[in-house]
Amino acid sequence: MNVDHWIGGERVPSAERFEDHSPIDGSVLAHVARGGQDEAALAVRAAAGAFPAWARTSRDERARLLHAISDGVERRTEELAMVETTDNGALLRSHLRGVMPRVAHNFRFFADWLLGLGRDDFDTRGHANHVSWDPAGVAVLVTPWNAPLMLATWKIAPALAAGNTVVLKPAEWSPLTASLLADITAEAGLPDGVFNVVQGYGAEVGPPLTGHPEVRRISFTGSVATARTIAASAAPNLTPLSLELGGKSPLLVFADSDLDLAADLAVEQYDNAGQVCLAAVRLLVEESVAADFLERFLARASALRQGDPRDLDTDLGPQIHPRQFGKIDGFVRRAVAEGASPVLGGGPNRDLGGLYYQPTLLTGAKPGSEILTEEVFGPVLTLQTFADEEEAVAMANSTDYGLAATLVTGSPARARRVSARLVAGTVWVNCFFVRDLRAPFGGARRSGVGREGGDWSFDFYCDVKNTVSAPWAR
């Protein structure tokens, strides 16, 4: 496959390239174009040049093209799934059954939402108010490695639907499906320059993109540290930002809950080898049922199969990169040194070697310790107990993050009461990861800035205008 940049409707090479390795076995998958300031400037120029015509394109035509891109994704689902599994180590069965269908749905949803976008005019002392959503311009989208294509298209689809042109900077640890998407957009008939892909290391190509004066929107999903760099780069131009950042989400289990359901939801937090920003990694369990819950949890977690993610029977694959693997192990080692005890896992999977880290559960961590407050982004959960509802809420809100929370209870009244007090952008009650693109998505505190989804996406990717008209003389 071609892994040069995609700029202005054509492949653009770079003098330098970087190796992309598979986390499954360390093999070299591709030598990818390594962009920098020149490629960033070229891509923004192409996007800016294509913007006037794309902004004037009718809603119906934009929607038609987004549906054509979705058709292309569906035709190549198996290829996209295998490429992404090989590139980032996530489960092939997840890519086939959920992730790639969601990629296609992202385009279809925002195409259809565009056609219904609007609000009724309203009156102010006889004056008519008309709200409209005007395309903003060039949107730079910087996307993560843990769900590369799904999280990229969650941004690309509304940005294109809104009438913006796009420059995508995919993560250097998982760059391949972005190149395939460029081919799909071209086959769908998207005009040259409307969608562009610049590959490369974030430190080299990121600042020239996010600091470019012609960029009108920046959307980023990733770490808090990188978000601060992007915000500083965007500040001189006052470029609006949407930031979906890390999490340290709680899963609260009350004594009146279905403990089998609670254990199932807790084990689900190992999905994608724990590399999920929304994961409820802090298990907070009422004291009276903690032993019963733990027994059920360990029975389920111990049965998880870890191995090659291309095997459809595998439950946990590898970590994405040696650097991430080392970071995870460092968190666990420091936690154990500070008094935490692993009751499950606790280190690398010696039988598999490579980047495979055992699903881990730690107990006995000290309140306020690093393992309870900082994002690990790996298959590492902690278990703490609480005495009552008041303590449960205080523990849940005891980090600087606020992306999501999961609550398990048999009481609707408690669910309403506790949900209202949790600091989180999304609260799941007796379920996990039920996502509807009509709903707002984002985080509180260090977990992000802004909301996307449904109208919220168009509010961000557009310049929302109100036109007020005096009564016309008859």
244 DSSP β-pair partners: 221, 448
Amino acid at 33: A
Q: Phi and psi of 458, rounded to 5°?
A: -70, -35
**Taking the C-alpha atoms of 323, 329, 333 and 334 in order, what is their torsion angle to the nearest 10 degrees?**
50
The two structure tokens encoding residue 348: 């690398």
Catalytic residue chosen out of the listed positions 244, 286, 375, 452: 244
Print the SS3 string covering the chain: CCCCEEECCEEECCCCEEEEECCCCCCEEEEEECCCHHHHHHHHHHHHHHHHHHHHCCHHHHHHHHHHHHHHHHHCHHHHHHHHHHHHCCCHHHHHHHHHHHHHHHHHHHHHHHHHCCCCCEEECCEEEEEEEEECCEEEEECCCCCHHHHHHHHHHHHHHCCCEEEEECCCCCCHHHHHHHHHHHHHCCCCCCEEECCCCHHHHHHHHHCCCCEEEEEEECCHHHHHHHHHHHHHHCCCEEEECCCCCEEEECCCCCHHHHHHHHHHHHHHHHCCCCCCCEEEEEHHHHHHHHHHHHHHHCCCCECCCCCCCCCECCCCCHHHHHHHHHHHHHHHHCCCEEEECCCECCCCCCCCECCEEEECCCCCCHHHHCCCCCCEEEEEEECCHHHHHHHHCCCCEECEEEEECCCHHHHHHHHHHCCCCEEEECCCCCCCCCCCECCEECCEECCECHHHHHHHHEEEEEEEECCCCC
39 noted as active-site residue: no
Pairing of strands 241-244, 401-402: unpaired
431 noted as active-site residue: no
Write the CB contacts of 396 (distance below 8 Å, at least 6 apart in sequence): 250, 252, 282, 284, 405, 422, 423
d(CA 268, CA 164): 37
Catalytic residue chosen out of the listed positions 39, 84, 172, 277: 277
Q: Are 149 and 83 in contact (CB under 8 A)?
A: no
Q: Which residues are catalytic?
A: 244, 277
